[in-house]
Structure 1
Amino acid sequence: MAIVDEARTGAETRLAVTPRSPAAIPRRGRLLAARRISAGISRRVVGILVLLAAWEVLPRVGAVDRVFLPPFSEVADEWVVLLRGGDLWEHTSASLTRAASGFALAILIALPLGLLIGWFRLVDQFLNPVLEVFRNTAPLALLPVFVLIFGLGETSKIAIIVYACVWPLLLNTISGVRGVDPLLVKSARSMGLSSLRLFQKVILPAAVPTIFTGIRLAGAYAILVLVAAELVGAKAGLGYLINYAQSNFAIPEMYAGIITISAIGLIINQGLLALERRFTRWRVAPNA
């Protein structure tokens, strides 16, 4: 009996000596999250490396015509030449200025309008018929119209980018406001929150994830439409560079411009993802 008591006492002592730290669970969660992120990045890097390896090998072994698809190393060499000569920066800065201007104007227009339409039924009933007409019109179909109205200068290019970016921003903002859990709204009203405070403390935070989806889509649309807009009447820009290189059969230079556009789109998307995580830290991951 004494041996049993002694063993029980020893076990209790060990449990008391090695308690589980309250910070252990959060640290473990952060570690698992870091591992998941690292694994995801590794898979993406491997995928890109496989693509680049195929791009390098297939033209060299004759699987594709290297005249029309030169090896990646030749394209990379041309990219470095453009960078050192200053041409790449000139065209990139022109494109980024147009894309950023159109994107910013679209946010200034679409976010307030989307919040108003999503929150006030009267505004929705008044504007919805007009929006339904224009939302189904492809931006590139209106490019000749914008050129006729604004000319071949910068205004028409920025205007078409604004038009393309407004729709994902507007529709996702409306969806985010309308998708707020009614129980949250009812609970907030029962606590005596005014309409302004309700909108500020409940509606807007709950709609932020959906709004950021629209922002990311708008960022992608800005780059896509930018290239098409720069094919018409532009004297600088990555779209102009790609078109000029293709017209002069400078194929490596053309692909260098395409790679730059793709890299810019990737950087913008990752930056917006980081910004979204910054503003939605309160969300709990599904597998947390």
Structure 2
Amino acid sequence: MSSSTLTRPVAAALDVAPEDYRRRAGLDVAARPGRFRLAVGRLARGSVAVVAFAALWEVAPRLGLVDRVFLPPLSVALGALADLVANGQLAVHLQASLTRALIGLSIAISAAIPLGAAIGRSPAVARLLNPVLELFRNTAALALLPVFVLVLGIGETSKIALVVYACFFPVLLSTITGVRTVDPLLLKSARSLGLHPLQLFTKVTLPAAVPTIFTGVRMAGAASILVLVAAEMVGARAGLGYLVTAAQQNFAIPDMYAGILTIALVGLAINAVLLLAERRLSRWRPSA
């Protein structure tokens, strides 16, 4: 049975023409090639800069514009990356870094969102905590790395704590902003329906603040990798930062660039996952 036969009863029940219903429901096959071409065009335009950068990286060392000993062609770095994947070294370092980053990011989000919501809703809490928060917010995470190492040791605890510190403030500040900038008319309408304060926060304030909160969460996701890589370069036996540093010290330059490429890909992957989570949690928003 064809899709047009199936849609006629539904269209009749809605009192619309079958063609209009099919177009609104996304069933119009004739419109799909146009949408596909549009998506391909957007992808192609967005890839121009990446392709140009990759071509420059490949060609410049081969033409002698840079010393290929210190900057090998992209194909050489990709070959080293493939070798690290094949011998299992990359999996070990990637697992170590992702475990530390995800644990630290999760702890930071779990602590920052409730605290940010409390500060955003209560002026008294904001007046109490703002001075100390401003003090630590303006202190770079890497500047405190020696302190974390001295207090917590050179093991996993200090690295995870540093990630928590670096991720905490972006999420905290975005949560405060999101809670404070919820549309007052939306809150007034919810109160008129008889919602008590907890329902008002969980069903209205927090969902409305999700887009702003996720801006900070995505910043924290990027910070978790950057800060962790720097920490792993100082004291670690596994991780992407350790891979880059060890390769540089052993003059395995292609492996060093392979590690750098992996760090970039991991950052892109984390950002893509957070974007997907934001879209799922913001399904109530009208699409552009």
Taking structure 1 as the reference length, what is the TM-score of the superposition?
Answer: 0.88
Q: 1:64 aligns with which of 42, 59, 66?
A: 66
Q: Does the 8 Å contact 1:152/1:232 carry over to 2?
A: no
Which residue in the other structure is 1:4 paired with? none
Q: Which runs of 5+ in 1 are unaligned?
A: 1-16
Give the fraction of aligned pairs with identical amino acids, expressed as a percent: 58
Q: Alignment partner of 1:27: what SS?
A: coil
Q: How many residues align?
A: 271
**CA 118–33 in structure 1, closer or farther in 2 if over 3 Å, else same:** farther
Matches within 5 A, 1:1-288: 21-25=20-24, 27=26, 37-286=39-288
**1:39-79 Cα distance to aligned partner (Å, 9 max, x none):** 33232334322221211111101111111110011111111
Q: By how many angstroms is 1:116 displaced?
A: 1.2
CA shift digits 1:135-175 (9 cap, x unpaired):
11110111111111111111111110000000100000110
Tell me: CA distance 1:36–1:282, structure 2 relative to 1, closer, same or farther (3 Å): farther
Between 276-285 and 154-163, report the one with greater CA deviation: 276-285
- RMSD of aligned residue pairs (Cα, Å): 2.2
Residues 3-62 of structure 1: CA deviation (Å, up to 9, x unaligned)? xxxxxxxxxxxxxx9775234245399968766544332323343222212111111011
Give deviations 1:104-148, integer Å, cap 9, x for gaps.
111111111111111122221211111111111110111111111
Which one has the largest radius of gyration?
1
Tell me the distance in 2 between the aligned counterparts of 1:120 and 1:34. 48
- Displacement of 1:239: 0.2
CA distance in 2, matches of 1:120, 1:135: 20
Q: Match for 2:170: what amino acid?
A: P
- The answer to whether the Cα contact below 8 Å between 1:164 and 1:218 also exists between their aligned partners in 2 is yes
In 2: Cα distance, 1:35 partner to 1:26 partner? 20
CA distance in 1, matches of 2:18, 2:82: 58
Q: Could you tell which deviates more after superposition, 49-58 or 144-153?
A: 49-58
Which residue identity does 1:121 align to in structure 2?
P
- Distance in 1 (CA, whole Å) between partners of 2:167 and 2:93 is 22
- For structure 2, list consecutive stretches of 5 or more residues without a partner in the other structure: 1-15
Q: Which runs of 4+ in 1 moved over 6 A?
A: none
Judged with a 3 Å threshold, the aligned counterparts in structure 2 of structure 1 residues 78 and 217 are, in CA distance, closer, same or farther, namely: same
Q: TM-score, normalised by structure 2?
A: 0.88
Change (3 A) 1:33 1:115: farther
CA distance in 2 between counterparts of 1:177 and 1:36 reads 37
